[in-house]
Amino acid sequence: MKLVLASASPRRKELLKQIGIAFEAVSADIDENSRGFSDASEYVMEMARQKALLVAERLADQGEAQGLVLGADTTVVIDGEILGKPTDYDDAFAMIRRIQGKWHEVITGIALVDIKTLTPLVDKECTRVKIRAMTDEMIEAYLATGESFDKAGSYGIQGYGSLMVEKLDGCYFNVMGLPIYRLSTLLEKEGFTMLSWMRCKDKK
């Protein structure tokens, strides 16, 4: 079955390749403003659904008859407040200063939409992360790496940001932007056979 990733995120592409799933990637540009959402889980699941549905409708209009579109959206939550991607340097600085020395939650919504029926299957994953205590100079040094500006909460766990992460409770891949195990359970419900290459290898 064909899988289309409704994202241009290099991290999500990398994670799908890592588990051996063939896919195409199509960018989905939607308004990701969190205003109007008081619950972060509802917000990321709705964003994921909108991304997947947008691309699925576009492909259906182009004559695609079957396949699944995967949408995902990740946000950071601290003290009940949703922290999305920073708008500029000052916003990124304020976000990291806000989360430094504390625990926060990273929540990712994932959605699979059937191109033929446009029916969505939606779920979420939550991981708790503690960022080390940081001085303003340390925050400035991290911002100078350029990693912050396309990431929710203004940091990435897989790069220089790994030096900031003191503890983690939950799915590491979720913090990267795509909870692999949670995704695999949704794909299995839609007919994907996960780890099939391992079974083939065992039969040799």
- What is the reported pLDDT for 34? 63
% of residues, the chain, pLDDT over 70: 93
Residue 28: both structure tokens together: 């989905």
Q: Is the pLDDT of residue 75 over 80?
A: yes
Calculate the alpha carbon distances from 8 to 3, 89, 123, 144, 202 in Å: 14, 22, 20, 23, 35
pLDDT in tens, 13-54: 999 998 888 899 998 888 766 666 779 999 999 999 999 999
Statement: residue 202 has pLDDT above 50: no
Assign 181 a pLDDT band (cuts: 50, 70, 90). Answer: very high
pLDDT at 175: 96
Phi/psi class of residue 92: alpha, beta or left (left: φ > 0; alpha: ψ in -120 to 50)? alpha
Q: Where are the domains of the chain?
A: 3-203
- 186 sits in the region (left: phi over 0; alpha: psi -120 to 50; else beta) called alpha
Task: Give the model confidence (pLDDT) of 110-131 as tens digits.
Answer: 999 999 999 999 999 999 999 9
The mean per-residue pLDDT over the stretch 148-169 comes to 93
List 73, 91, 114, 136, catalytic entry: 73
Please state, in angstroms and rounded to a whole number, the distance separating the CA atoms of residues 182 and 174. Answer: 9
Confidence at 203, pLDDT banded by 50, 70, 90: very low
CATH number of 3-203: 3.90.950.10
Give the Cα separation of 152 and 4 in Å (integer). 23
pTM above 0.85, yes or no: yes
Annotated catalytic residue 91: no
